Amino acid sequence: MGIAHRVPDLGALELLLAVVRLGSVGRAAAELGVTQPAASARIRTMERQLGLALLDRSPRGSRPTEAGTLVAGWAQQVLDAATALDAGATALRERREGRLRVVASMTVAEYLMPGWLVALHAARPGTAVTLRTANSAAVAETVRAGGADLGFVEGTRTPAGLSGTVVAADRLVVAVAPRHRWTRRRGGVTGDELAATPLILREEGSGTREVLDRALAAHGGTAPPLLQLGSTTALKAAAVSGAGPVVVSELAVADELAGGRLVAVPVAGLDLRRPLRAVWPAGQRPAGPARDLLALARQGRPRPPRASRERAAGMLET
């Protein structure tokens, strides 16, 4: 039989201490907000559990026996330890509620996270947010290892060992500099042609690369990259310079397309849509500010203007 079956619960110990202090089961019951019969029954249950007589009862009240005095001393130590445990747990909860560790894919971090963080700051102004960026494979590994409270990935499925939910939709686009020969094609390019062309691409392990590789699998797979870069900014700069076609998130090239620095090239019969997911350890549920950030992400807030992005950056801990 385990110790939990032999040791009275905290409520019973608290009742015993009240009887010892007040000299009466009735007065102790009134102080704790229970009836006298219920308090008397609980004392008897505790005596049977311990195999000891704890109180001498008389018409004038109740006094602890010699064993009762010893048990009351030990009970006070148990209650003091329980109070310390409760205070410590409260402090840990408050610490958790006051900070948020996020790791996100580059597309989410650069083009969606700023708006979400501005909204989170309005809802929880005291929350200190730490944001790390990585490709989707590294995001998943960080969350699995406990290095972040919430992660955001690109790709076609939830990574193994994690739970997740779709929070936004995205689409990859093929973009080229205005003078590229593909801009003169009314119908764009075919999947076979795209698969055979060296492209400016993200590294393997990124959500962008995963979606593209999967889409081109039926067309012979992706050709060896013209350039393989780990930064969305570097990808766009290479394409704007005329180095070659780039495949990147529609969110990432919105400004370049609107300003005419890049031109989107249609790809016939190729589905380049992808979900963006929030992920967290399997078997757990986001809590505190992580839960709030997840709710904001699900609301589908639009991409913020540059001023809001800069404001969000100022809220982050380094």
Q: What is the pLDDT of residues 74-124, one digit of tens each?
A: 999 999 898 888 777 666 665 555 689 999 999 999 999 999 999 999 988
The pLDDT assigned to 48 comes to: 92
Residues 185 and 116 in one domain: yes
Q: What is the pLDDT of residues 201-242, one digit of tens each?
A: 999 889 899 999 999 999 999 999 999 998 899 999 999 999
Residue with tokens 């219920």, as numbered in its chain: 38
Residues 47 and 167 in one domain: no
Residues 22 and 123 in one domain: no
Residue with tokens 């971090």, as numbered in its chain: 109
Residues 83 and 34 in one domain: yes
Of 68, 95, 122, the one marking the end of a domain is 95
Residues 104 and 63 in one domain: no
Residues 207 and 275 in one domain: yes
Residues 85 and 190 in one domain: no
Domain that holds residue 46: 3-95
Q: How far is CA 186 from the centre of its chain?
A: 45
Residues 184 and 242 in one domain: yes
Residues 31 and 152 in one domain: no
Q: Which has more pLDDT, 1 or 145?
A: 145
Q: Determine contact, residues 143/281, Cβ cutoff 8 Å.
A: yes
Domain count across the chain: 2
pTM for the full predicted model: 0.65
Largest CA distance in the chain: 105
Residues 297 and 160 in one domain: yes
Of 36, 64, 95, the one marking the end of a domain is 95
Q: Can you list the alpha helix ranges (DSSP code H) found in the chain?
A: 3-6, 10-22, 25-32, 36-50, 66-97, 106-111, 113-123, 136-144, 191-196, 207-216, 232-240, 254-258, 289-298, 306-315
Of 63, 95, 127, the one marking the end of a domain is 95
Q: What's the pLDDT band for 1 if we cut at 50, 70, 90?
A: low
Q: What's the pLDDT band for 4 if we cut at 50, 70, 90?
A: low
Residues 45 and 60 in one domain: yes
The pLDDT assigned to 306 comes to: 46
Residues 268 and 123 in one domain: yes
